[in-house]
Amino acid sequence: MNESVIIAAGGTGGHISPGVALAEILVEKKEHFHVSDVYIHSLLRNQNNPDLQNAPCEVLWHNVPQFRGLSIPIYPILFLIQFIKTILTFRKRKVTAVIGMGGYSSFPAILYAILFRKKLFLCEQNCIPGKITRYFAKYAEKLALSFPIKNSLAVPVETKIIGNPIRKKVVPESLNIRQNENLHDSRKNTVNVLVLGGSQGARQLNNMILKTMENSEISQKFRFRVLTGTSLYDETVKKAKGPAEIISYANDMRPNYEWANLVVARSGAGVIAECLVFGLPMVLIPYPYAADNHQKENAEYVEKEGAAYTIQSTSEDPSPLVKYLLDWKSNPEELKTMGQNSLRLSNVNAAYQTVSYFFSH
């Protein structure tokens, strides 16, 4: 029997991007995986997301409420309305399998799979499993992991560490991925530093970089390209004193990764996975308020593997970053080694391997 597959990818870009990557493979390889139809189930507020505007399959929109901020009597009523709509939508499309990418927005699709006994697969992007994974893993046939998880799940479920699925438009054109000898050549006059605060931007990172650029030694050796996030672009431009290239948002990230020699970023699973396939060393500054502090664990895993350094701080003090950069100025071979470690951790074929894990007979 051919499967009609729902990919529940709502919430943030960290859930949407790997979901789109799986959809690309399923659409391209329908016959191989015995799939008839593929749909993405996502929140209505994500309609302007570029990945979903150019999705490889039909996107089914829903508006399930987030529990936070709603009173206990109101939430069940609002949820039930949306869930009934989900049931009708899925039945019309004869859904037989659900892939949950995590986040509260995947709950209606996962609940549908459980109640109507459809196949359920889960993807976990982070080292600390999210609530969706922890609560519903026992109902899943298989669980695909991006990284080793810190604490094993308390329920028996088949798991496999594969890597975070990456969209085709981000995958490097050359499967050699990075010519580390050229990229991290100590004879280069400058080192290109790409700064990524995530889809919403990060004021802390932006300000830390602006202060870092005021160091005269760093301004001579390092060039900065800062992706501020749309909402923080104007204020960052006004504060900038040095020659940084400041960009609000980039739909096509591949040229930026190809330009970079080093990335300073939050430690969301998606950004880390993309940096890894480009063989990029990283300075990771975890978002301290992420659920279960999962960004801290993601960063520490990559640091332990020798591909990154971590700055655990909520301040804009540039001192730790300045120290790392000046150390690399006098010891560029360390950057090269970190880039090689980054490449070693990567899996450019994670999307295909995840789909194969779920649907190979």
Q: What is the pLDDT of residues 112-152, one digit of tens each?
A: 999 999 999 999 999 999 999 999 999 999 999 999 998 77
How far is residue 208 CA from its own chain's centroid? 22
Residues 6+ apart with CB under 8 A from 79: 64, 65, 108
Distance CA 219, CA 312 (A): 24
Residues linked to residue 265 through DSSP beta bridges, in sequence order: 196, 284
Residue ranges for the known binding site are: 12-14, 126, 167, 199, 295
| pLDDT band, very low/low/confident/very high, at 69 (cuts 50, 70, 90) | low
Class of the CATH-defined domain 3-170+348-359: alpha beta
**What count of residues does the chain have?**
361
Residue positions forming the annotated binding site for UDP-N-acetyl-alpha-D-glucosamine: 12-14, 126, 167, 199, 295
Q: How many Cα atoms sit within 13 Å of 209 on the Cβ side?
A: 31
Least confident of 43-52, 189-198, 257-266: 189-198
Rounded to whole angstroms, the Cα distance separating 166 from 151 reads 25
CATH code at 180-345: 3.40.50.2000
Q: Stretch 51-66: mean pLDDT, rounded?
A: 93
pTM over 0.85: yes
**Could you tell me where in the chain the CATH 3.40.50.2000 domains are found?**
3-170+348-359, 180-345
Provide the H-helix boundaries in 128-191. Answer: 131-136, 180-183
Joined together, the tokens standing for residue 73 give 């009597």
Burial class (CB in 10 A: 0-12, 13-18, 19+), 50: middle
Of 162, 1, 11, 23, nearest to 99 by C-alpha is 23
